[in-house]
Chains A and B, each alone.
Chain A
Amino acid sequence: GENVEQHPSTLSVQEGDSAVIKCTYSDSASNYFPWYKQELGKGPQLIIDIRSNVGEKKDQRIAVTLNKTAKHFSLHITETQPEDSAVYFCAAPPSGTSYGKLTFGQGTILTVHP
């Protein structure tokens, strides 16, 4: 099955700095890589995703990059703001999964200091 490893487990930055979270995956046939943000007491919220046919995707201050050869993908947040503070999870579906099962990384607690 798919194994997803996420680093770092905690990340502390100053407001305005950039934050980068990295994930590696094991199943080379995986083709979809979402990132979720989880705020305290809430469910995971999809913030950005990327498919295996592209190397980078941006949405305002958030970007995701994918390196299929190395089997890793990263979340980049620029100009961080205190409201970006949350737990971020990467995920990937195992190959052979037809119905959308996701395997999640361990999560990164991001703290943005004003």
Chain B
Amino acid sequence: EPEVTQTPSHQVTQMGQEVILRCVPISNHLYFYWYRQILGQKVEFLVSFYNNEISEKSEIFDDQFSVERPDGSNFTLKIRSTKLEDSAMYFCASSPEAYSNEQFFGPGTRLTVL
């Protein structure tokens, strides 16, 4: 069964450093998302991406964040200058169509900022 994959599973970085989290969505899906989950808290929406551009973003998704689909398979989240409070699980999700809202999540990347 097709699934969303994410790499790395765990990323440790120093405050102020840039990180890139990578995702490979399900191949025939058109809508892509990033969510984050701070330890013990709810899953929070960051950004949605369709047709090679951001379609919606939350207030969390400020100028230090960016997303990109550099080729036909990868979808990346870049955090330019990490802060301690960016430590969280980051989940990528994809959906075949927006209106169905059926989103399939990857296993996540645990980001630890020291």
Chain A residues within CB distance 8 Å of chain B: 32, 34, 36, 41-46, 49, 89, 91, 93, 97-107
Q: How far is the CA of A98 from the CA of B95 in the complex (A)?
A: 13
A49 to B106 alpha-carbon distance, docked (Å): 18
- The chain A residue with its CB closest to the CB of B101 is A32
- The B69-105 residues at the A interface (CB cut-off 8 A) are 91, 93, 95, 98-99, 101-105
Interface size on B, residues (CB 8 A): 28
Shortest CB-to-CB span from A27 to chain B, Å, is: 14
Give the residues in chain A near B108, CB-CB below 8 Å: 42-43
Contact A43 B106 (CB under 8 A): yes
**B102 touches which of A49, A99, A107 (Cβ 8 Å):** A49
Cβ contact of B48, chosen from A46, A49, A101, A103, cutoff 8 A: A101
With CB as the reference atom, state the residue of chain B lying closest to A51: B101
CB-based closest 5 A-B pairs: A43-B105, A99-B55, A99-B48, A104-B43, A100-B98
Identify the B interface with A (CB < 8 A): 4, 6, 31, 33, 35, 41-45, 48, 50, 55-56, 58, 91, 93, 95, 98-99, 101-108
Query: For B33, what are the chain A residues with a Cβ–Cβ distance below 8 Å?
Result: 100-101
A97 to B45: give the CA distance in the assembly, Å.
12
User: What is the CA–CA distance of A36 and B99 in the complex, to the nearest angstrom?
Assistant: 18
**Nearest neighbor of B89 in chain A, beta-carbon distance:** A43
